[in-house]
């Protein structure tokens, strides 16, 4: 199951996992938005279904997980990628902006993880990968987003401790600047062309380029493998340079 998989990092991750041999549930807010990712997987010979679900709603999440179990089998792999941005400086940030971002990122990951847990326990095997961000280390105008992404890292480490004895690993991938629809909309919102915005950020990236969704997908792919069974509770920064 990959949440927020209609586009961007989520779509690239779903497509990569399908190429790895997984049957993939493409989860996003409404089912029609999942169609493009599902089609890309099926056109390449993979197996995928699209399911609409609001990850902030517990009953909807439970229904989505059961739908996946019925259509594809027990969901023993989960990528918590669903996210939104509501950027603003603290004195301008509305309470609704704070609540929405925390809810989608953090509550969503909690609800999804809780709902898949019984299936992983029954299988004696499970993989949960949470998508954090380098913004977890702090970023101007993103107090809500940074707090949510830092919270995901804490959730990751706590669940790794709780679930390891049941054969479940929990890890975190934290992307840096990735060329997605979301980052392009951020550039437009602050009145810059994406090229200008990208050049400014790339100037501080040691490898000298923005990341691509497939870069993040490759990191997620590693954590889903059997070979990663002794790696849990880790945060892997995918940002073109060192982060601490």
Catalytic residue positions, numbered: 145
Q: What is the DSSP letter of 105?
A: I
**Which of 38, 16, 12 lies closest to 25, judged by CA?**
38
For residues 80-101, one letter each, b for 16 or more C-beta atoms within 10 angstroms of the residue's C-beta and e for the rest, the string is: bbbbbbbbeeeeebeeebbebb
Enumerate the β-bridge partners of residue 168.
126
Q: How many residues appear in the chain?
A: 244
Phi, psi of 9 (to 5 degrees): -60, -40
Q: Which helix (H) or strand (E) holds 185?
A: helix 181-189
The Cα–Cα gap between 136 and 96 comes to: 20
123-126 long-range CB contacts below 8 Å, 24 or more apart? 123/74, 123/76, 123/167, 124/166, 124/167, 125/76, 125/167, 125/168, 126/76, 126/77, 126/78, 126/163, 126/166, 126/167, 126/168, 126/169
Task: Enter the tokens of residue 75.
Answer: 């969901």
Contact 77, 49 (CB under 8 A): no
């Amino acid at each position: 199951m990959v949440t927020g998989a209609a586009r961007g990092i989520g779509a690239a991750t779903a497509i990569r996992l399908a190429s790895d041999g997984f049957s993939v549930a493409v989860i996003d807010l409404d089912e029609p938005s999942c169609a493009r990712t599902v089609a890309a997987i099926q056109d390449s010979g993979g197996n995928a279904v699209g399911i609409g679900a609001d990850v902030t709603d517990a009953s909807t999440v439970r229904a989505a997980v059961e739908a996946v179990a019925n259509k594809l089998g027990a969901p023993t792999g989960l990528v918590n990628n669903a996210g939104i941005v509501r950027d603003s400086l603290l004195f301008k940030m509305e309470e609704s902006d704070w609540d929405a971002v925390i809810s989608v990122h953090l509550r969503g990951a909690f609800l999804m993880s809780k709902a898949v847990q019984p299936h992983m326990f029954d299988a004696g095997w499970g993989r949960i990968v949470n998508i954090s961000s380098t913004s977890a280390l702090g970023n101007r105008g993103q107090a809500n987003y940074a707090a949510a992404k830092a919270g995901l890292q804490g959730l990751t480490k706590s669940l790794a401790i709780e679930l390891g004895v049941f054969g479940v690993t929990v890890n975190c991938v934290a992307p840096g600047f990735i060329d997605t629809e979301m980052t392009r909309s951020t550039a437009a919102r602050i009145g810059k062309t994406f090229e200008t915005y990208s050049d400014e950020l790339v100037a501080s990236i040691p490898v000298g380029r923005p990341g691509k969704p497939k870069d993040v997908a490759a990191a997620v792919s590693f954590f889903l493998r059997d070979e990663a069974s002794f790696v849990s509770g880790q945060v892997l920064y995918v940002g073109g340079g060192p982060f601490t």
